[in-house]
Amino acid sequence: MNEAADDLLFDLNLTDEQRMNRETMQRFAAAEIRDLSLRVDAGETTARDFFPATAELGLTLLQIPEALGGAGMTRSPVSNALILEDLAHGDLALALGATSPLGFVNTLLDQGSDAQREKYLPRFCDGAFTAATTALLEPRATFEPSAPNTTATPNGDGYSLNGCKSMVPLGMDAELLLVIALLDDGKPAAFVIEGSPQGMTRTAEENMGLKGAQLATLTLENVQLPNEALLGDSDFNLQRFIDLSRLGACALAVGTGQAVLDYVIPYCNERVAFGEPVTHRQSVAFLIADIAIELEGMRLMTWRAASRAERGLPFHEEAYLAKIFCAEHAMKIGTDGVQLLGGHGFTREHPVEMWYRNLRAIDTLEGVASI
């Protein structure tokens, strides 16, 4: 077999460790996330008390080197995609918030300097939840992920940041933020912001969905950062960051899409109309089959791109195609799920309308949940 053909192969068999980890995530999603998500979405409670409980999962601990207090496991985009998929089966919004620190850690492991890893990574190894997040998306119609408008101007004491970031998960509470900006020479860069420095304003967002992710807009007006806030020792690989984040969004879409499918099958089998289950109608059965087909395509495209990233192969094209495919079909799966419930799909008695609203965000999300 030639090398080009070998690059097309990827292994769908999970390791024993991945299988055990999936069981843990799935149990947690079912027991801790599913019911809470409905109350958070309805505004009956907030997710602030929930996120500390996710520390027991050790999401950020696994890939941090033992010398820095972590478990020292091999960095695995595939395993990370599975984590996001399983948690999103409980709820996409809470899963996004819970895994935002993982995206921060992954980017620091990928592109941070040794000094930055030694400074920040031990904070994720003490058994407590450290609110950390990444910020790339900007609130403008012509936003292009590879060319943000946020600027970083060098000065004698470091850098001055100016711009606006939107849909930042955990944006109101994050202790550590990784903000993407452009330098004077047009090159992309990432900056670690601790706390709330002077000139940075956090504004809670009111959106159609993703209520539990605590999305916020960050306004940066001459925010002064020291030289050591610049991430890494060399140029920041923004495209890699975008591609890994897109795969994270795809994994979240797959998990929530699976939740829709798992919900509508028993509902439609038990729903009787004109003396028989509605699944006896071909229009209903075919719509459910379409969801299953689309979902499997989403999953395979996501896993394949993540596998290539894990093996050190080029994966930009695969990540881009997966994001386009998942964004389109996530919205369709959400819409079809609501349709299959008939009038119940319009009510909050069932979670499908919430999943529909959350899934519509997949096309918008950029720079979050990096795997």
Is the CB of residue 133 less than 8 Å from the CB of residue 104? yes
Q: Is residue 295 part of a domain?
A: yes
Overall average pLDDT of the 225-251 stretch = 94
Q: Residue 127's pLDDT is what?
A: 85
Pair (67, 89) in one structural domain: yes
CATH (domain of 40)? 1.10.540.10
Pair (214, 272) in one structural domain: no
Name the token pair of 9. Answer: 């192969």
Pair (124, 203) in one structural domain: no
Find how far residue 249's CA is from the centre of its chain: 5
Residue 71 confidence (pLDDT) above 90? no
Q: Residue 362's pLDDT is what?
A: 95
Residue 271: give the domain boundaries.
Answer: 238-359
DSSP-derived pairing of the beta strands 132-135 and 188-194: unpaired
Q: Residue 359's pLDDT is what?
A: 96
Is the CB of residue 238 less than 8 Å from the CB of residue 180? yes
Read off the pLDDT band of 270 (50, 70, 90): confident
Q: Is residue 56 part of a domain?
A: yes
* Total domain count, the chain: 3
Q: Residue 4's pLDDT is what?
A: 53
Pair (267, 206) in one structural domain: no
Q: Is residue 331 part of a domain?
A: yes
Is the CB of residue 123 less than 8 Å from the CB of residue 130? yes
**Last residue within a domain, chosen from 109, 130, 151:** 130
Q: What is the DSSP string of 176-244?
A: EEEEEEEETTS-EEEEEEES--TTEEEEE---SS-GGGT-EEEEEEEEEEEGGGB-SSS---HHHHHHH
Residue 9 confidence (pLDDT) above 80? no
**Last residue within a domain, chosen from 88, 112, 130:** 130
Comparing 59-73, 143-157, 244-258, 299-313, the range with the smallest average pLDDT is 59-73
32: DSSP letter: I
Pairwise CA distance, residues 13 & 16, whole Å: 9
Read off the pLDDT band of 6 (50, 70, 90): low
| Cα radius of gyration (the chain) | 21
**Using one digit for the tens of pLDDT, what is the confidence trace for 109-159?**
999 999 999 999 999 988 889 999 999 999 988 899 999 999 999 988 899
Residue 7 confidence (pLDDT) above 80? no
**Using one digit for the tens of pLDDT, what is the confidence trace for 273-329?**
787 888 788 889 999 999 999 999 999 999 999 999 999 999 999 999 999 999 999
Overall average pLDDT of the 334-356 stretch = 92
Q: Residue 121's pLDDT is what?
A: 95
CATH (domain of 163)? 2.40.110.10
Q: Is residue 366 part of a domain?
A: no
User: Looking up tokens 């019911």, which residue turns up?
Assistant: 35
Amino acid at 289: A
Q: Is residue 367 part of a domain?
A: no
Mean pLDDT of all residues belonging to the chain? 92
**Using one digit for the tens of pLDDT, what is the confidence trace for 349-364?**
899 999 999 999 999 9
User: Looking up tokens 């089959």, which residue turns up?
Assistant: 289
CATH (domain of 289)? 1.20.140.10
Pair (147, 60) in one structural domain: no
Q: Is residue 37 part of a domain?
A: yes
How many other CB atoms are found less than 10 A from the CB of residue 168?
A: 26
Name the token pair of 363. Answer: 């096309």
Pairwise CA distance, residues 110 & 232, whole Å: 9
**Last residue within a domain, chosen from 229, 249, 274:** 229
Read off the pLDDT band of 1 (50, 70, 90): very low
Pair (191, 259) in one structural domain: no
Pairwise CA distance, residues 266 & 271, whole Å: 8
Q: Is residue 247 part of a domain?
A: yes
151: DSSP letter: E
Q: Is residue 371 part of a domain?
A: no
Read off the pLDDT band of 250 (50, 70, 90): very high
Pair (319, 210) in one structural domain: no
Pair (108, 177) in one structural domain: no
Pair (253, 346) in one structural domain: yes
Overall average pLDDT of the 193-211 stretch = 94
Pair (17, 95) in one structural domain: yes
Pair (248, 264) in one structural domain: yes
Pair (217, 314) in one structural domain: no
